[in-house]
Structure 1
Amino acid sequence: MNQVLLLFLMFCGGVAVAFQPSINGRLAQKTGVLESSCISFTVGAAALLILVFLVGKGDMRGVSHAAWWELSGGLLGAFFVTMTIVAVPRIGTTAAMASVIAAQLATGALLDHFGMFGFREIPLDGKRAFGIALLMAGTALVFRR
């Protein structure tokens, strides 16, 4: 898969992530916060299960060789979805997404810098740090009361 296609797909993923909290928040008005989060993950898991059976090329049995922390992604995702369901109705989608993006970029830069989880090291240089600082400043600007 070429880099332009990957960039486009990640852009589409960003659009989806921006819609998700508002959609889940509306569902939470009818079902409750934790219930909405559970329903969201159940629908997502069902869709992924169908895809695994239709086009999956991996081996689900490999999970038996995974370390405990390699299975924590689902917990982190559940925490993220639940927090957005709580935050978006209170602070708005823009402020919530700005906060999420700033945190993701800062954390991602640290993960890259230290080559965490066995991935290649990408040093945190001044240019990257300045970009993160600008994003933090932008987050503060959209977080007005």
Structure 2
Amino acid sequence: MQQLLLFLMAVVAGAMLAVQAGLNSGMGKAVNSPVYGALISFVTGGIALLAYCLVAGVPLGNVRRAFDLPWFYWLGGVLGGFYVYAIIVLAPRLGVALTIGLTVAGQMVFSLVIDHYGLLGIPPQSVNWLRILGIAAIIGGVVLLRSN
């Protein structure tokens, strides 16, 4: 049951990315800048997360642990900023479905590399033909999305 809930959470998160692409694209147009659109997205997201932490009683002292990590872990926010910026630029030009499809294809390919080599503290999971076939199916889906 717990795994089913985790799968459902992943599907909902994916659906939210598609909605977020449209919303952030509109914000980027409204402020006439994809960079400011991304910044507004991160600021409002940061405020929402801070409010959640305060309401849920997440101990603020836990944040200090982030300073014990190697420097490159801090790049997660930079990478997220680039992702949101890219979505703002790409969604109106390619459409939300193709944009998300291409980003998911990129995520899957690099996720396989991270899993295979156990990068960033992730337990290694070897590449096999079924995993490669799964990525090929996703890439095939992206090709079909593009062909209309």
TM-score, normalised on structure 2? 0.92
Aligned equivalent of 2:112: 109
Distance in 1 between the 2:15 and 2:140 partners? 22
Aligned equivalent of 2:36: 35
Distance in 2 between the 1:99 and 1:22 partners? 16
Aligned equivalent of 1:4: 4
- Using the aligned pairs only, state the percent identity: 28
Distance in 2 between the 1:48 and 1:78 partners? 16
TM-score, normalised on structure 1? 0.94
Instruction: Count the aligned residue pairs.
Output: 145
- The residue type equivalent to 2:51 in the other structure is I
Unaligned runs of 5+ in 1: none
Structure 1 residues 1-145: aligned runs within 5 Å: 2-31=2-31, 32-55=33-56, 56-57=58-59, 59-144=62-147
> By how many angstroms is 1:87 displaced?
0.2
- 1:80-127 per-residue CA deviation (whole Å, 9 max, x = no partner) reads 000000000001001101101111111111111111112211111011
Higher mean C-alpha displacement, 73-82 vs 128-137 = 128-137
Runs of 4+ off more than 3 Å = none
> By how many angstroms is 1:138 displaced?
1.6
2:147 aligns to what SS in structure 1?
coil
- The residue type equivalent to 1:49 in the other structure is L
Unaligned runs of 5+ in 2: none
1:72 aligns to what SS in structure 2?
helix
Distance in 1 between the 2:81 and 2:49 partners? 16
